[in-house]
Amino acid sequence: MNFLERIHLDTVRAVDQHGTMTAAAKSLNLTQSALSHSMRKLEDRLSIKIWLREGRNLVLTQAGEHLLATANRLLPQLVHAEEQLGQFARGERGTLRIGMECHPCYQWLQKITAPYLREWPSVDFRVKQEFQFGGIGALFAHKIDLLVTPDPLLRKGLHFTPVFDYEQVLVVSADHPLRNEKWVIPRQLGDATLFTYPVPQERLDIYTHFLNPARMAVRRQKVVETTDMMFQLVACGRGVAALPRWLVEEYASKYPVVPIRLGRRGVRKQIFSRRS
Amino acid sequence: MNFLERIHLDTVRAVDQHGTMTAAAKSLNLTQSALSHSMRKLEDRLSIKIWLREGRNLVLTQAGEHLLATANRLLPQLVHAEEQLGQFARGERGTLRIGMECHPCYQWLQKITAPYLREWPSVDFRVKQEFQFGGIGALFAHKIDLLVTPDPLLRKGLHFTPVFDYEQVLVVSADHPLRNEKWVIPRQLGDATLFTYPVPQERLDIYTHFLNPARMAVRRQKVVETTDMMFQLVACGRGVAALPRWLVEEYASKYPVVPIRLGRRGVRKQIFSRRS
DNA sequence: GCAACCTATGACTATCACTCATTGAATAAT
DNA sequence: ATTATTCAATGAGTGATAGTCATAGGTTGC
């Protein structure tokens, strides 16, 4: 078994194309002798004749015709497969699966990646935001190739690359009582309604870096799915939110909202990324 | 180029099936080392990773997944091709193209071949009766594999195998004036209408072996396409025909016809066959 | 911590794919 | 006819390389 090798398909095809075995050999960068030997071995092992030797040229037998048809069907597929693997090698193909543990980063990421995707149409790009076992889990299970997160898991041998700094700020409407404050202290939010993304509290910076340390809480917390919705609600005075300053600045032209520093020093964060 | 070989497809597939490279190696009758080496070489040449080495097992990369899909698609086709070539080898497949230069032999041939064809359904069988350059020409151009003819071409190095003897006889209706003759001489046909197959006179035995040597001719010759038609016409007394005795005997139960020897000694012929 | 698994790797080897040189045969040219 | 080309087949020899062996480096599970 396993008699048929690529060389045989190549040979049958080349002989058919170039007429003679000698020409075929040249086209394959081999000697006529090499092809003769390898085909003879195939013929022996299968105990069939591929060609009839008629004078000084070769005439395909029925089995040979069949083999030629097979070669014509399979070889292009092999070549195609190699080309595609080459594309993988050059990064021209494949799916870059990005996991994101920071909600508003999606828009930032799209802005970054759009020109790249336009240039490499065969590269696919997928963003996941829901992970069964957390971002790190997805990374290790090879569900994603890259994890973007504000909360890197600090374990030995686990290296995260800082991507950019940002400041987490409070967002209030332009006519909110706190609108002119340089900064706020936790107690000032005691009566507020806080809009957050639908993630656990331990991943919300305003809790971990601001409210919890002061043992304070807001009156109400409401979950909002999208960034736009959050700005809308804040803008019409229904509550406050905590978001990156760059995001607030971007939305400031669209909604009447104001960013305010959280605490005297502000809450400074970094976005990290880690490759699989 | 030409990096991808069968072993690589086999390996990827076997590893996927058996879980580990060691098990895959066993299934391919190779050592783990062999697979490791050959796959590493492929990875190097394509500069891609097929697997990620995770602890003590292998996880396919995207390129690897792609290669696996390719293997799953192509390998069965290769195996199938080998099987079919094997069938050619064992004579279980293929088309036996038989050329026939003797019209009524077709029925005889079908009787011979029917049981064989029933047993080997994947063997195809084709009979040609019209040749652009004659039976021998078709044979040498590999248009047919076997030539059945009553008129072998006697050339040096050209060997025909005699298949069976037959006697060419005159066929007349059961109430024909000649019906009781032991044999006829050419002159007795001077006034007859002769039915023949649509072939040139030099291939009609009644001319070459009977009429021509005596410089005689029939009054009329009419061409008939089928054997059945010929017997019908003879039976109702519209004329006579010259056919093999075995054929006349077969049809005698169906039509009221009588065979009569051509000349005192009869016209004895042989059917020959020759393989391509 | 040990045993039982993996895969990777270097060194060595045997195989076999390939080349070289030649033969034999069929065309084509003289 | 005779010779020159142009094929494929073939045997002998070799060189590349696919394979084995032995071992190292890891991970997993008991």
Mean per-residue pLDDT over chain B, rounded: 88
Place of tokens 């032999």: B105
Contact status of B77 with chain A (Cβ, < 8 Å): yes
**What radius of gyration, in Å, describes the C-alpha atoms of chain A?**
33
Task: Please indicate whether residue A119 or residue A26 has the higher confidence score (pLDDT).
Answer: A26
Q: Would you list the DSSP string of B41-108?
A: HHHHHHT--SEEEETTEEEE-HHHHHHHHHHHHHHHHHHHHHHHHHHHHTTSSEEEEEEESSTTHHHH
Contact status of A91 with chain B (Cβ, < 8 Å): no
Contact status of B46 with chain A (Cβ, < 8 Å): yes
C-alpha distance from residue A239 to each of A180, A197, A230, B140 (Å): 16, 14, 9, 95
List, for residues B220-238, the tens digit of each pLDDT value. 999 998 888 899 999 998 9
CB B258 within 8 A of CB B267: no
* C1' (D20) to CA (B6) span, angstroms: 20
Q: Which residues contact B98 (CB under 8 A, 6 or more apart)?
A: B109, B125, B126, B127, B128, B144, B145, B146, B147, B148
Which of B1, B2, B54, B67 to mutate: most A Cβ within 10 Å? B2
The mean per-residue pLDDT over the stretch A199-216 comes to: 89
* C1' (D5) to CA (A229) span, angstroms: 86
Alpha helices in chain A (DSSP H): 6-18, 21-27, 32-46, 62-89, 105-119, 134-140, 205-206, 227-235, 245-251
Provide, as residue numbers in chain B, all residues whose Cβ is less than 8 Å from the Cβ of A70: 77, 81
* C1' (C8) to CA (B10) span, angstroms: 20
Helix axes B6-18, B32-46, angle to 10 degrees: 120
Contact status of A123 with chain B (Cβ, < 8 Å): no
Query: Hey, which residues does A123 pair with through a beta bridge?
Result: A94
Q: Which helix (H) or strand (E) holds B12?
A: helix B6-18
Biggest CA pair distance of chain B: 102
List all nucleotides in chain D with at least one atom under 7 A from a protein Cβ.
6-12, 18-23, 25-28
Looking at residue B158, what is its pLDDT? 67
Strand D surroundings (CB within 7 A): A 15, 20-23, 32-33, 36-37, 39-40, 51, 53, 56-58; B 7, 29-31, 33-34, 37-38, 41, 55-56
Looking at residue B108, what is its pLDDT? 76
Which residue ranges does chain A devote to CATH 1.10.10.10?
Answer: 6-89
* C1' (C22) to CA (A113) span, angstroms: 65
Which of A2, A53, A84, A275 to mutate: most B Cβ within 10 Å? A2
CA distance B208 to B109: 25
CA distance B101 to B199: 9
A5 vs B6, B84, B89: nearest CB: B6
Helix, strand or coil, per DSSP, at residue B20: coil
CA distance B79 to B66: 20
Task: Please indicate whether residue B219 or residue A199 has the higher confidence score (pLDDT).
Answer: B219
List, for residues B19-63, the tens digit of each pLDDT value. 999 999 999 999 999 999 999 999 999 999 999 998 888 999 999
Q: What is the pTM of this model?
A: 0.77
Indicate the fold that domain A6-89 takes in CATH.
Arc Repressor Mutant, subunit A (1.10.10)
Q: Which residues contact A185 (CB under 8 A, 6 or more apart)?
A: A214, A263
Q: Does pLDDT of B7 surpass 90?
A: yes
Mapping DSSP onto H, E and C, the string for A177-193 reads CCCCCCEECHHHHCCCE
Q: What percent of chain A has pLDDT over 70?
A: 96
C-alpha distance from residue A206 to each of A32, A99, A133, A226, A243 (Å): 77, 22, 24, 18, 9
Contact status of A164 with chain B (Cβ, < 8 Å): no
Provide the token pair at A147. 């994890």
Looking at residue B109, what is its pLDDT? 80
Task: Please indicate whether residue A166 or residue B32 has the higher confidence score (pLDDT).
Answer: B32
Residue B264 φ/ψ, nearest 5 degrees? -65, -40
How many residues belong to chain B?
276
Q: ∠ CA B193-B201-B152 to the nearest 5 degrees?
A: 135
Q: Would you list the DSSP string of B163-232?
A: EEEEEEEEEEETTSTTTT-SEE-GGGGTT-EEEE-SS-GGG-HHIIIIIGGGT---SEEEE-S-HHHHHH
Looking at residue B155, what is its pLDDT? 62
The candidate with the shortest Cα–Cα distance to B195, out of B161, B164, B159, B171, is: B171
Contact A89 B5 (CB under 8 A): no
| Residue range B167-269 in CATH 3.30.565.10 | no
Which residue ranges does chain B devote to CATH 3.40.190.10?
Answer: 167-269
The mean per-residue pLDDT over the stretch A141-160 comes to: 74
Scan residues 257-276 of B and list those with Cβ closer than 8 Å to A. Answer: none
Which residue ranges does chain A devote to CATH 3.40.190.10?
Answer: 94-149, 165-269
Place of tokens 């190549």: A10
Indicate the fold that domain A165-269 takes in CATH.
D-Maltodextrin-Binding Protein; domain 2 (3.40.190)
Helix, strand or coil, per DSSP, at residue B33: helix
Q: Hey, what long-range contacts does B80-84 have (CB within 8 A, 24 or more apart)?
A: B81/A4, B81/A66, B81/A67, B81/A70, B81/A74, B82/A1, B82/A2, B82/A3, B82/A4, B82/A46, B84/A66
Q: Look up the CATH number of domain A94-149.
A: 3.40.190.10
Provide the pLDDT confidence category of residue B17 given band limits of 50, 70 and 90: very high
Q: Which residues contact A50 (CB under 8 A, 6 or more apart)?
A: A12, A39, A42, A43, A60, A61, A63, A64, A67
Which of B104-108, B153-157, B200-204 is the most confident on average?
B200-204
Which of A109-113, A149-153, B1-5 is the most confident on average?
B1-5
* C1' (D19) to CA (B6) span, angstroms: 16
Contact status of B5 with chain A (Cβ, < 8 Å): yes
